């Protein structure tokens, strides 16, 4: 049986899919309805892997939906995908071309799927990232306090630092 690799270019609004080696394409919306249409399109084939780029928030629902359906998903770093495209001389940048390139990359490199992260783990990662951002904001406010000359800005920044300190005490923070 022919090994089938699917490349999916993920954007905010759409998913562009390309099937190798059958050279078939599909465009669906990046939402639950589009995921169902994509799964139906994939049904006739025994799919070895589905390759897509990590795109922050845009790929998460797609990854969860297809992972729950049991597909072997390969999430690649966009830089790695770009370097593969450059190495093969494919520098055009359209969604359909990117989907075909991702399928070709998965096939040529025989990329191996990894388990999809659970929704609990994703939520923890999101909370961790938010905490890191808040700590950076707090540090920046403390650093600004030393340099602010304007009385109004100095008072506002001090209130912000105090609010952060109160929140930490109230929630048992560091």
Per-residue pLDDT, 92: 65
Q: How do residues 67-118 score in pLDDT, each as one tens digit?
A: 999 999 999 999 999 999 989 887 767 888 999 999 999 999 988 888 777 7
In this predicted structure, the answer to whether residue 20 has a pLDDT above a threshold of 80 is yes
In this predicted structure, the answer to whether residue 24 has a pLDDT above a threshold of 60 is yes
Q: Indicate the pLDDT class of residue 19, thresholds 50, 70 and 90.
A: very high
Domain boundaries, the chain: 4-116, 120-170
Q: How do residues 125-171 score in pLDDT, each as one tens digit?
A: 778 888 888 889 888 888 888 888 888 988 888 888 888 777 777 77
Q: Indicate the pLDDT class of residue 174, thresholds 50, 70 and 90.
A: low
Per-residue pLDDT, 27: 97
Question: Burial of 27 by CB count in 10 Å (0-12 exposed, 13-18 middle, 19+ buried)?
Answer: middle
The answer to whether the predicted template modeling score (pTM) of the entire model surpasses 0.75 is: no
Question: In angstroms, rounded to a whole number, what is the distance separating the alpha carbons of residues 67 and 141?
Answer: 41
Q: Into which CATH architecture does domain 4-116 fall?
A: 2-Layer Sandwich (3.30)
């Amino acid at each position: 049986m022919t090994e089938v690799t699917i490349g999916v270019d993920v954007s905010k609004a759409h998913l562009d899919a390309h099937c190798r080696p059958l050279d078939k394409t599909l465009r669906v919306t990046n939402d639950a309805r589009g995921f169902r249409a994509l799964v139906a399109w994939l049904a006739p084939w025994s799919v070895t892997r589905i390759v897509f780029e990590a795109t922050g928030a845009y790929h998460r629902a797609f990854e969860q939906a297809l992972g729950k359906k049991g597909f072997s998903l390969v999430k690649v770093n966009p830089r790695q995908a770009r370097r593969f495209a450059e190495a093969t001389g494919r520098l055009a940048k359209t969604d359909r071309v990117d989907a075909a390139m991702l399928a070709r990359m998965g096939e040529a490199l025989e990329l191996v799927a990894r388990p999809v992260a659970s929704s609990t783990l994703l939520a923890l990662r999101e909370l961790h990232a938010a905490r890191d951002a808040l700590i950076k904001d707090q540090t920046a406010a403390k650093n600004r306090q030393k340099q602010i000359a304007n009385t109004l800005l100095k008072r506002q920044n001090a209130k912000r630092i105090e609010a952060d300190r109160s929140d930490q005490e109230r929630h048992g923070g560091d």
